[in-house]
DNA sequence: AATGAATGAGGATTCATTCAT
DNA sequence: GATGAATGAATCCTCATTCAT
């Protein structure tokens, strides 16, 4: 039997541990199927301890889901700043960032969580729309507008549906989450192919 | 006092009613948060009656999720047959079918369900991969190969990642499911713009 | 082991059984210390069954406490009707009724319950004031006024504090509840002595 | 940041503070519904500190309830000494003392506590019977016997049920506790009226 | 076949108590 | 001594499932 150590710890750190454990659990089984005891066990603490940091399961979930995405946002924001780089490079960097920070991380389960629990947690959906989507779409729109102005787009109409740029990222997440076990999807190729489709070749056609 | 109606009914029809009710419930709240009583109530029958048709909640879910997608598949399959029509038209027809049969139907919640409950029901995921994805990808691949051969694609490399063609459809579902309440997405434009990006203009100028 | 029989039963009867069991439990240990399982066990049913009849513990308690007193009230009311009988006889009959229907019944624990849980259940207190106390006081006041008019009272001022008439009844309950085990209180004598103190002797000598 | 005050304090005083806080809490919500943390908070100390002074919740309760009543007892005892004063005066003084020291104090909740928790804490009930009731009844009996001998009582039989004298006090507490918010009871009048009923008028009729 | 009352395992939450700091 | 984070037993309540009618 492992010793129960009553390990006291810095509250901020403990909180973070719980959030990490909770994220793993929720991502694995969804909100309803996750037991608070699972979360506690995963965090290596007792059931009751979770409640010292979060008032109830719902709040734990909400704070969790709200907190996971925020950090990435900053980096993305910086991307639009540099006007000099070609739009394709910028979008490419975005995909790379997405791969590194989401797709190849536990965060890849985030979409599933939000999608799955959205109807039960409108607050979360609203948060994501307001904090992430809105900003993301805005950034992409600027990027595309700039690209269109420079003649970098094969089809300038894309500017009006910036969501299209996100579509391959969505696909990558969903495929990875659901079907990677059955058939591998080369996400890099997915992104690159889409970029090649979206933007005129660098060399500049005749 | 209202009479207790013990409406006896054709088993097959009853079964279908239960499945419909179950789909509505599961789509709305997910597997765990749906109570068998909800399903029964929605089907207008008593709790116990559900168990006369399905052995338990899990089986109800699995049979349900497996049954919803199948009907569409046939139509899609027919599409690849007609070699004469241009690939763009075929893909366009696919998007139209998708819109009509999925996006604008209750079936649009299917993705959410599969994504959400996937980890808990590998059988379902496996079923979808085997029955739907595999076939869908194969069809698209044929379509794209044919298009590439005819020079209809701006970027022939797309043939290697047929999933790209599905990406806008995914985006449309997810946006509709999550954010339509906050901001409208013109899915037709999304699809058309993507088509315009994917395929060379019809006029096929130099 | 007694067989678990899944005994189905008339809802009204079941409800009554639960209320009886609940009353016994609450009276014995108070609201907080009573477990719903205790109530169920005492009623000879399963935990969950209680919840088919009462939405939660609080409601069970409230409905219970509200329902216990009502039946007695009717009888008391009838008492004031007969103008012909002497007030002393009427009050004496009231004490007798009180003894028979409250003091020597499980209902004797009611005061304890109300007093104990009053602050936690203002609804209950309000109910008792409105439904029982108000009416009781009114009846006694009429009785005393009549008695005063007829010169039956040693001290007519009693009319202004009808609560005084209830005081011996309270004492009897409290003594019985708390100290009867240590020392017997002859409640009949308590009542009779009070009556002899309150009313002038019948013979009404000079 | 406010400094953590580790106010060390005279143990006896600390103990008293805890008892006071505990009394307030228990009186307000009863034993079960009072959390040790409430008590600690009310005493302005940390949860753990309570346990430095009392081994557990039960003991805290018992010591508390046992300690509250004792002080009054002395005064009451003195009352019987003075043989010279009329019994009515003595009883009147007792009511006055009761009003001042119990009814108009937080101690008025004591009865509720004892009554409510009696069945769970026989020790407490026994203590009250032994230490308070026995002595109180004895005193009243002596007073009444003396009064009877002097012809001060309208009904000498009262000597045999000295509890009758306590009844108005009980009524005053219970009414005050439960119904004062709905309807005021003039306790002074209640006591005075009872005294007028119990004792022959001072002037001494022919 | 259909019903819905009954069951009881399961999970969220609370809180008395302990103990490392 | 004092603190309050940590623990886990205890309890409310839900809901999948059963079964007598």
| C positions 186-205 inside 8 Å of D (CB) | 186, 189-190, 193-194, 196-198
Using CA atoms, how far apart are residues B146 and B143, in angstroms rounded to an integer? 5
What's the confidence (pLDDT) of residue D69? 75
CA-nearest of A78, A21, A89 to A49 is A21
| A positions 121-150 inside 8 Å of B (CB) | 125-126, 128-130, 133
D206 three-state secondary structure: coil
- Label residue B95 left, alpha or beta by phi (over 0 means left) and psi (-120 to 50 means alpha): alpha
What's the confidence (pLDDT) of residue B12? 81
What's the confidence (pLDDT) of residue C80? 65
Tens digit of pLDDT for each residue in B80-89? 666 778 889 9
Nearest nt (C1') from D49 Cα: F2
- Average the pLDDT over each of A101-110, B6-15, C24-33, D26-35 and give the range with the smallest value: B6-15
What's the confidence (pLDDT) of residue D185? 96
Q: How far is the CA of A58 from the C1' of E5 (A)?
A: 32
Average pLDDT along chain A, 206 residues, taken 10 residues at a time: 66 91 93 95 95 96 88 68 82 92 91 90 92 90 92 93 95 94 96 95 59
Residue C1 has pLDDT above 50, yes or no: no
Distance from CA of B199 to the nearest CA of A (A): 9
Q: Cβ contacts of residue A82 below 8 Å, gap of 6+? A: A90
B13 CB burial (10 A radius; 0-12, 13-18, 19+): exposed
**Contact between residue B199 and residue B154 where contact means Cβ atoms under 8 Å apart:** yes
Q: Hey, which chains touch A, using 3+ CB pairs under 8 Å?
A: B
- Average the pLDDT over each of B10-19, C180-189, D77-86 and give the range with the smallest value: D77-86
Q: Does D touch A (3+ CB pairs < 8 Å)?
A: no
Distance from CA of C118 to the nearest CA of D (A): 7
Only one residue has tokens 């189905």, namely C8
Alpha carbons within 13 angstroms on the beta-carbon side of residue D69 total 21
Using CA atoms, how far apart are residues D187 and D177, in angstroms rounded to an integer? 12
D31, D112, D193 member nearest C115 (Cβ): D112
Q: Cβ contacts of residue A102 below 8 Å, gap of 6+? A: A72, A108, A110, A173
Distance from CA of B183 to the nearest CA of A (A): 9
Average pLDDT along chain D, 206 residues, taken 10 residues at a time: 58 90 93 95 95 96 86 67 82 92 90 89 92 90 92 94 96 94 96 95 59
Q: What six digits make up the tokens of B146? A: 């044919």
What's the confidence (pLDDT) of residue C2? 46
Max distance between CA atoms of chain D, in angstroms, equals 80
What's the confidence (pLDDT) of residue A41? 95
Using CA atoms, how far apart are residues C81 and C90, in angstroms rounded to an integer? 10
Residue D49, CB, strand F, below 7 Å: yes
Only one residue has tokens 């504090």, namely C161
What's the confidence (pLDDT) of residue A3? 52
Which backbone phi and psi does B155 adopt, to 5 degrees?
-130, 95
Task: Please judge whether A189 and B32 are an interchain contact, meaning their C-beta atoms are less than 8 angstroms apart.
Answer: no
Q: Does C touch A (3+ CB pairs < 8 Å)?
A: no
Task: Please judge whether A189 and B161 are an interchain contact, meaning their C-beta atoms are less than 8 angstroms apart.
Answer: yes
Question: What Cα–Cα distance (Å) separates residue D124 from each residue in A111, D68, D110?
Answer: 60, 12, 11
Chain F positions within 7 A of any protein Cβ atom are: 1-21
Averaged over C36-46, what is the pLDDT?
95
Q: Would you identify the CATH topology of the domain D9-54?
A: Arc Repressor Mutant, subunit A (1.10.10)
What residues form DSSP beta bridges with A199?
Answer: A153
Query: ∠ at Cα B106 (B105, B107), nearest 5°?
Result: 85
Residue B148 has pLDDT above 70, yes or no: yes
**Contact between residue A20 and residue A65 where contact means Cβ atoms under 8 Å apart:** no
- Average the pLDDT over each of A180-184, B57-61, B119-123, C1-5 and give the range with the smallest value: C1-5
Averaged over B170-193, what is the pLDDT?
95
What residues form DSSP beta bridges with A153?
Answer: A199
C184 CB burial (10 A radius; 0-12, 13-18, 19+): exposed
Q: How far is the CA of A22 from the C1' of F13 (A)?
A: 24
- How much of chain B exceeds pLDDT 90, in percent? 61
Confirm or reject contact between B119 and chain A (CB < 8 A).
yes
Confirm or reject contact between A10 and chain B (CB < 8 A).
no
Between B168 and A67, residue with greater pLDDT:
B168
Q: Is the sign of the CA dihedral B22, B25, B30, B31 positive or negative?
A: negative
Please report residues of A whose CB lies closer than 8 A to that of B185: 161, 163
What's the confidence (pLDDT) of residue D1? 43
Give the A:B interface size as CB pairs under 8 Å: 144
Averaged over B18-42, what is the pLDDT?
94
| D positions 30-89 inside 8 Å of C (CB) | 30-33
What's the confidence (pLDDT) of residue C206? 44
C92 three-state secondary structure: helix
Distance from CA of C8 to the nearest CA of D (A): 34
B117, B167, B196 member nearest A167 (Cβ): B167
Residue B206 has pLDDT above 60, yes or no: no
Place C7 in a pLDDT band, splitting at 50, 70 and 90: confident
What's the confidence (pLDDT) of residue C9? 81
Q: Would you identify the CATH topology of the domain B1-54?
A: Arc Repressor Mutant, subunit A (1.10.10)
Tens digit of pLDDT for each residue in C115-167? 989 889 999 999 999 988 998 899 899 999 999 999 999 999 999 999 999 99
* Residues belonging to chain A: 206
Q: How far is the CA of D48 from the C1' of E18 (A)?
A: 9
Q: How far is the CA of C125 from the C1' of F11 (A)?
A: 26
Distance from CA of C5 to the nearest CA of D (A): 33
Q: Which residue of A has its CA nearest to B113?
A: A116
What's the confidence (pLDDT) of residue D175? 96
């Amino acid at each position: 039997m492992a010793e129960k150590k009553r390990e006291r710890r810095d509250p901020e750190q403990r909180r973070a541990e719980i959030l990490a454990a909770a994220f793993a659990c929720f991502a694995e089984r969804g909100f309803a199927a996750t037991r608070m005891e699972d979360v506690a066990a995963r965090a290596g603490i007792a059931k009751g301890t979770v409640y010292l940091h979060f008032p109830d399961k719902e709040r734990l979930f909400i704070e969790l889901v709200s907190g996971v995405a925020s950090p990435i946002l900053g980096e993305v924001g910086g991307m639009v700043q540099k006007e000099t780089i070609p739009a394709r490079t910028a979008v490419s960097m975005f995909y790379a960032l997405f791969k590194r920070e989401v797709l190849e991380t536990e965060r890849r389960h985030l979409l599933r969580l939000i999608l799955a629990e959205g109807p039960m947690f409108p607050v979360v959906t609203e948060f994501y729309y307001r904090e992430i989507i809105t900003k993301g779409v805005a950034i992409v729109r600027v990027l595309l507008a700039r690209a269109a102005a420079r003649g970098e787009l094969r089809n300038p109409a894309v500017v009006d549906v910036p969501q299209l740029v996100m579509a391959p990222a969505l696909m990558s997440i969903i495929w990875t989450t659901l079907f990677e076990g059955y058939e591998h999807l080369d996400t890099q190729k997915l992104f690159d192919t889409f970029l090649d489709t979206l933007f005129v070749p660098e060399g500049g056609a005749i």
